[in-house]
C-alpha cells in the first residue's frame, strides 16, 4: 500500500504537469503567431520592393541617407529639362 504522502505528491505532480503543459502550449502559440506575423510583413515588404518600379511608374529611382550631391542633382535636372518628371520623397524614421 502506498503511503498517503506519496499519493498526495503524485496527485500534485500530475496537476502541476497539466499547468506546465498549458503554459508551454501558450508560449508555443505566441511564438508561432509572432513568426507568422514577421514572415507575412517580410513578404509584403519584399513584394513592394520588387514591384516598386510598377508602383512608382518610374524608370529610375535614387535613394540616399544624405542630401543628394550637386552632380547628381544636375543629372536629375537634365532629365527634367528633356521632358522627364521628378518626384522627391522624404521619409522619416518612426516607431
How far CA 43 is from CA of 9, 46, 50, 77, in Å, comes to: 50, 5, 10, 35
Residue 70's domain spans which residues?
4-81
* Nearest Cα to Cα of residue 61 among 76, 78, 39, 41: 76
95 part of a folded domain = no
Q: What is the pLDDT of residues 53-76, one digit of tens each?
A: 676 666 677 778 888 888 888 888
Total domains in the chain come to 1
37 part of a folded domain = yes
90 part of a folded domain = no
50 part of a folded domain = yes
In this predicted structure, the answer to whether residue 7 has a pLDDT above a threshold of 90 is no
42 part of a folded domain = yes
Give the distance, in angstroms, between the CA of residue 41 and the centroid of all CA atoms in the same chain.
Answer: 5
The pLDDT score that the predictor gives to residue 37 is 96
The pLDDT score that the predictor gives to residue 95 is 60
Residues 95, 80: Cα–Cα separation, whole Å: 35
Assess contact for 63 and 55: CB atoms under 8 A: no
Assess contact for 86 and 76: CB atoms under 8 A: yes
92 part of a folded domain = no
Amino acid at each position: 500500500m502506498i503511503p498517503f504522502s506519496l499519493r498526495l505528491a503524485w496527485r500534485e505532480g500530475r496537476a502541476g504537469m497539466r499547468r506546465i503543459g498549458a503554459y508551454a502550449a501558450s508560449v508555443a502559440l505566441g511564438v508561432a503567431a509572432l513568426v507568422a506575423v514577421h514572415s507575412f510583413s517580410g513578404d509584403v515588404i519584399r513584394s513592394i520592393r520588387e514591384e516598386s518600379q510598377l508602383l512608382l511608374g518610374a524608370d529610375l529611382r535614387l535613394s540616399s541617407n544624405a542630401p543628394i550631391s550637386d552632380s547628381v542633382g544636375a543629372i536629375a535636372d537634365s532629365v527634367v529639362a528633356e521632358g522627364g518628371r521628378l518626384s522627391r520623397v522624404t521619409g522619416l524614421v518612426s516607431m
